[in-house]
């Protein structure tokens, strides 16, 4: 192998090793950049696949750039000849042969020179780059201190709750202050929601939604009870008016009693007092002490009572019950006889029976129950002061369970018992009879019969 070929071969090996070194270093830089891009995409919630695909064309570009850079930085032939001359200690003979100055000297036969790549440090850096890329792809963001400030996207849920609150406020089921408090709480939850702990945010929203539903259910139930009480009072008054039309003479006492109670209730209730004054201005007969409520005034009173609030109705009901209770123990034979005749002629007037409270005899009547040991009166009702009742709204499943419940049966008589019960058909009680002593029946063997008879037939002295 002549000197020129040896120089060219060594030069090609040097270019290849340099190109490999540049490729490793360029790949390391590319992997670091790719890991940083993946981390940014995860922080911004972008898709990782498009970013990875977009970075793939950089690989051949990096390899081509490494090859071009190695060729451009390749050593000259003179430098390679000097390297061979110094490595094999030829004393300048290789350099002289390259320059054409040693033609008279025979060419030296040199062995191929080995070229070794010192790649420990580049490989360690490449390994670190790969580790960084894997960490950027798989390590959770909260462990890297990121993602804690990312809020949840709960705008749709908040808007639905706001619409529901506005609807409840529009139909006057909740107050303005309550609606504003709930909205403020929702916006605070929306701002403080965290992507690292979505369970707490959703649980808080569920609790707020349940509070809104419970409050709406309580208000609806309260309105329904108020309307029901108002309808019951108006229905009772209309029934009294109808009875008054059918039998004026018999119902005069009841109308007079109602007038007295209304006048007493008006003394403690300014709303009812204003109501009676407005009735007088409208042309109704004024209520005087001991006066009687006429038909026109009663009709106008029924219309006005349907417009009273729940508090006014409850106050009026308490005063009427107190007034009726005070009259429960004073017998009036003349009134009772007329009331008896009226009830016999009008058996459907249950409201007048409930409102009269004039029975001098104890008990609740009837041929099979009562009489009681004391007059029925409600002078001392149970006070609600100091007692808190918690209103609970039944869920849909509980309501369905109540609807599906069935009454097994109830009766005042003794239950029917089947006296002809069948005996046992097998097992330890085979052959026993269906009577009281069936479980205590034993078979006595012949050798034990005498001992058993002596035991049961022994005398008292033994």
90-123 per-position pLDDT tens digit: 555 565 565 554 555 455 566 667 777 888 898 9
| Domain boundaries, position 73 | 3-144
Task: Tell me what the mean pLDDT of segment 336-343 comes to.
Answer: 56
More reliable by pLDDT, 418 or 364: 418
DSSP run (H or E) holding 304: helix 295-305
Q: Do the domain assignments include residue 313?
A: yes
Check residue 266 and give its pLDDT: 65
Q: How far apart are CA 330 and CA 359, in angstroms?
A: 8
Are residues 332 and 268 part of one domain?
yes
Are residues 298 and 190 part of one domain?
no
Write out pLDDT tens, residues 36-60.
888 888 877 777 777 788 888 888 8
Check residue 327 and give its pLDDT: 42
Are residues 134 and 64 part of one domain?
yes
Q: Taking a C-beta distance cutoff of 8 angstroms, is the pair 267, 273 a contact?
A: yes
Last residue of a domain, one of 86, 120, 144: 144
Are residues 132 and 18 part of one domain?
yes
Q: Do the domain assignments include residue 415?
A: no
What is the count of structural domains for the chain?
3
Three-state DSSP at 285 gives coil
| Reported confidence tier of residue 324, pLDDT bands at 50, 70, 90 | very low
Instruction: Please give, one letter per residue, the 3-state secondary structure of 48-62.
Output: HHHHHHHHCCHHHHH
Using CA atoms, how far residue 357 sits from 54, 290, 321, 328, 339, in Å, is 94, 19, 9, 5, 11
Question: Residue 210 above 80 pLDDT?
Answer: yes
Task: Tell me what the mean pLDDT of segment 235-243 comes to.
Answer: 69
Q: Do the domain assignments include residue 366?
A: no
Task: Tell me what the mean pLDDT of segment 181-198 comes to.
Answer: 78
Q: Do the domain assignments include residue 207?
A: yes
Q: Taking a C-beta distance cutoff of 8 angstroms, is the pair 75, 11 a contact?
A: yes
Check residue 103 and give its pLDDT: 54
Question: Residue 175 above 80 pLDDT?
Answer: yes
Q: Do the domain assignments include residue 316?
A: yes
Q: Taking a C-beta distance cutoff of 8 angstroms, is the pair 126, 24 a contact?
A: yes
Are residues 137 and 8 part of one domain?
yes
Query: How large is the C-alpha radius of gyration of the chain?
Result: 54
DSSP track, 73-138: TPPPHHHHHHHHHHHHT-TTHHHHHHHT--TTSPPP-PPPPP-----HHHHHHHHHHHHHHHHHHH
Question: Residue 127 above 90 pLDDT?
Answer: yes
Are residues 135 and 36 part of one domain?
yes
More reliable by pLDDT, 393 or 360: 393
- Candidate from 33-37, 336-340, 364-368, 375-379 with smallest mean pLDDT: 364-368
Are residues 139 and 27 part of one domain?
yes
Check residue 14 and give its pLDDT: 84
Q: Taking a C-beta distance cutoff of 8 angstroms, is the pair 191, 269 a contact?
A: no
- Candidate from 268-272, 328-332, 333-337 with smallest mean pLDDT: 328-332
Are residues 136 and 159 part of one domain?
no
Are residues 195 and 139 part of one domain?
no
- Candidate from 77-86, 256-265, 283-292 with smallest mean pLDDT: 283-292
Last residue of a domain, one of 356, 387, 422: 356
DSSP track, 157-182: HHHHHHHHHHHHHHTTSS-HHHHHHH
Q: How far apart are CA 405 and CA 419, in angstroms?
A: 32
Are residues 267 and 184 part of one domain?
no
Q: Do the domain assignments include residue 136?
A: yes
Are residues 178 and 121 part of one domain?
no
Are residues 195 and 317 part of one domain?
no
Task: Tell me what the mean pLDDT of segment 438-443 comes to.
Answer: 58
């Amino acid at each position: 192998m002549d000197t020129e070929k040896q120089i060219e071969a060594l030069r090609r090996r040097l270019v290849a090793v340099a190109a490999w070194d540049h490729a490793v270093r360029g790949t390391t830089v590319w992997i670091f950049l790719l890991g940083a891009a993946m981390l940014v995409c995860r922080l911004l919630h972008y898709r990782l696949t498009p970013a990875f695909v977009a970075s793939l064309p950089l690989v051949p570009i990096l390899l081509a750039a490494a090859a071009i850079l190695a060729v451009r930085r390749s050593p000259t032939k003179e430098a390679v000849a000097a390297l061979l001359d110094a490595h094999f200690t030829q004393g300048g003979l290789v350099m002289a042969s390259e320059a054409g100055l040693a033609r008279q000297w025979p060419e030296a036969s040199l062995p191929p020179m080995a070229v070794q790549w010192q790649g420990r440090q580049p490989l360690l850096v490449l390994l670190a780059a790969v580790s960084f890329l894997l960490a950027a792809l798989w390590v959770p963001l909260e462990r890297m201190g990121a993602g804690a400030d990312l809020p949840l996207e709960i705008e749709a849920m908040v808007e639905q709750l706001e619409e529901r609150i506005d609807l409840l406020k529009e139909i006057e089921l909740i107050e303005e202050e309550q609606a504003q408090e709930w909205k403020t709480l929702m916006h605070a939850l929306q701002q403080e929601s965290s992507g690292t702990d979505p369970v707490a945010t959703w649980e808080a929203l569920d609790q707020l939604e349940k509070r809104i539903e419970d409050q709406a259910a309580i208000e609806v139930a309260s309105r329904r009870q108020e309307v029901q009480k108002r309808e019951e009072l108006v229905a009772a008054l209309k029934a009294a008016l109808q009875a008054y039309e059918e039998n004026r003479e018999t119902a005069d006492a009841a109308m007079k009693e109602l007038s007295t109670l209304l006048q007493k209730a008006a003394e403690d209730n300014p709303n009812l007092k204003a109501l009676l004054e407005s009735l007088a201005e409208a042309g109704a007969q004024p209520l005087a002490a001991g006066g009687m409520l006429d038909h026109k005034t009663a009709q106008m009173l029924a219309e006005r009572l349907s417009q009273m609030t729940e508090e006014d109705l409850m106050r009026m009901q308490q005063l009427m019950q107190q007034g009726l209770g005070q009259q429960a123990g004073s017998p009036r034979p003349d009134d009772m006889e007329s009331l008896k005749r009226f009830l016999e002629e009008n058996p459907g007037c249950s409201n007048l029976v409930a409102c009269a409270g004039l029975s001098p005899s104890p008990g609740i009547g009837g041929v099979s129950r009562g009489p009681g040991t004391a007059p029925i009166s409600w002078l001392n009702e149970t006070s609600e002061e100091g007692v808190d009742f918690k209103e609970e709204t039944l869920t849909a499943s509980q309501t369905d369970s109540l609807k599906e419940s069935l009454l097994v049966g109830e009766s005042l008589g003794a239950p029917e018992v089947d006296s002809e019960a069948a005996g046992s058909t097998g097992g330890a009680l085979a052959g026993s009879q269906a009577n009281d002593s069936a479980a205590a029946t034993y078979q006595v063997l012949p050798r034990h019969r005498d001992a058993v008879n002596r035991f049961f037939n022994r005398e008292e002295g033994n």
